[in-house]
Amino acid sequence: MGETIGFIGLGNMGQEMALRLVEAGWPVRVWNRTKEKATELVKRGATLVERPEEAVEPGGIAISMLADDAALLEIFAADGPVVKRLGAGGLHVSMSTIHPDTSRRLAKEHAEHGASYLGAPVFGRPNAARAGMLWFAVSGRPEDRLRARPIFEAMGRETFEFGDDPGAANVAKLCGNFLIAAAVEAMAEAAALAEKSGVGAAGMLEMLGKTLFACPVYQGYGQLVVKRKFEPAAFRMRLGLKDVELAISAARAVGVPLPFADIARNRALAGINKGRGDWDWSAVSLGAAEDAGVV
């Protein structure tokens, strides 16, 4: 593989995604606030750097997989060292789940230094990332989408393009996570009904996951809802709340009511207040079980 990639953010997702690039033969320089998370990657051939700007090459490719908008805006600050070093011909492929307007703002600010920006959020949890089975939603300049294609191919099974607006892919991602939130709440309520009626929730969800709802979200999250094993988290509830709030905010900006998102927000907020913020997002299903008196 050709150019060195600077990978910034090695959380649950970033560690697995960067590993795919290393395994595919890309030279990868990694940076993470908590250095220890780079240990496995370094063993496998990545280079750990001290500061985020040291991860990127002038005119090269930077990938970010940070928790949220605030972290991304801090590290890729308008006149900060990372964007300056990336500079003319540089490309930032931004994979976190963030607000569409954050992508639009970053694209403009990067352009002032001659650098490009792609919104490229992902679908799939860390196990899918490990297996190179992510799905990417991508938007930004066509030539940048083309340049980044081999990266998406190393990490994912399919890429879906959403045009030139760098925020468009983030809208698609937020729609997806809103749908997951609604599905988890619906499954949790149905499971509570089954359980309190003396019917096995696992059997009920297994039947529906093989028939009317034969899709990864109902099958994967359905298992999590009935098993009630929420630690260690693959996707933390705090981040789930962040995503639902982003969907609500993006919807508010265009005047769209999202009543199901309000329910999902309340569930996640209540879960965090009960000390479950670092449990898996699927633990929001405990809310419906608690309301029904089955846990």
| Catalytic-role residue among 43, 173, 242, 274 | 173
Query: Which position among 26, 152, 178, 235 is part of the footprint of ligand NAP (CB under 6 A)?
Result: 235
Pick from 41, 40, 39: nearest CA to 7: 41
Judged by CB under 6 A, the residue of 5, 6, 13, 170 near ligand NAP is 13
Hey, is 117 helix, strand or coil? strand
**Under the criterion CB under 6 A, does residue 74 sit at the interface with ligand NAP?**
yes
86 contacts 56 by C-beta, under 8 angstroms: yes
Question: Exactly one of 234, 251, 269, 270 binds ligand NAP (CB under 6 A); which one?
Answer: 234
* Tokens found for residue 290: 């608690």
Going edge to edge, which strands form the sheet with 116-119?
47-48, 28-31, 5-8, 61-64, 91-94, 116-119
Does 247 help bind ligand NAP (rule: CB under 6 A)?
no
Residue 57 dihedral angles phi and psi, to the nearest 5°: -95, 140
Closest CA to 175 of 133, 213, 217: 217
Establish how many alpha carbons lie within 13 A of residue 260's alpha carbon, considering only the half-sphere containing its beta carbon.
Answer: 11
Intra-chain end-to-end CA distance of the chain, in Å: 52
State the binding string over 79-98 for ligand NAP (x if CB under 6 A, else -).
-----------------xx-
**Stretch touching ligand NAP by CB under 6 A, among 26-34, 53-61, 187-195, 268-276:** 26-34
Q: What is the smallest separation between the CB atom of 143 and ligand NAP, expressed in angstroms? A: 25
Q: Does 30 bind ligand NAP (CB under 6 A)?
A: no
The residue number whose beta carbon is nearest to ligand NAP equals 11
Candidate segments 11-19, 40-48, 54-62, 78-86, binder of ligand NAP by CB under 6 A? 11-19
Exposed / middle / buried, residue 147 (Cβ in 10 Å: 0-12, 13-18, 19+): middle
Cis peptide before 232 (omega within 30 of 0): yes
- To the query of whether residue 173 is one of the catalytic residues in this protein, the response is yes
CB of 157 to ligand NAP, least distance (A): 14
Q: How far is the CB of 263 from ligand NAP (least distance, A)?
A: 20
User: By C-beta, is 52 or 192 nearer to ligand NAP?
Assistant: 52
Provide the residue type at 198 as one letter. G
DSSP track, 135-174: EEEEBS-HHHHHHHHHHHHHHEEEEEE--S-TTHHHHHHH
Q: By rule CB under 6 A, what string of x and - marks binding of each residue 128-167 to ligand NAP?
A: ----------------------------------------
| Contact between 34 and ligand NAP per CB under 6 A | yes
Which whole-number Å values give the CA distances from 129 to 33, 252, 274, in the listed order?
21, 31, 30
Q: Which is closer to ligand NAP, CB of 71 or CB of 186?
A: 71
Q: Please, what is the minimum distance in Å from the beta carbon of residue 176 to ligand NAP? A: 9
Q: Note the residues at the interface with ligand NAP (CB under 6 A).
A: 9-14, 32-34, 37, 65-68, 71, 74, 96-97, 122, 125-126, 234-236, 239, 243
Catalytic residue positions, numbered = 173
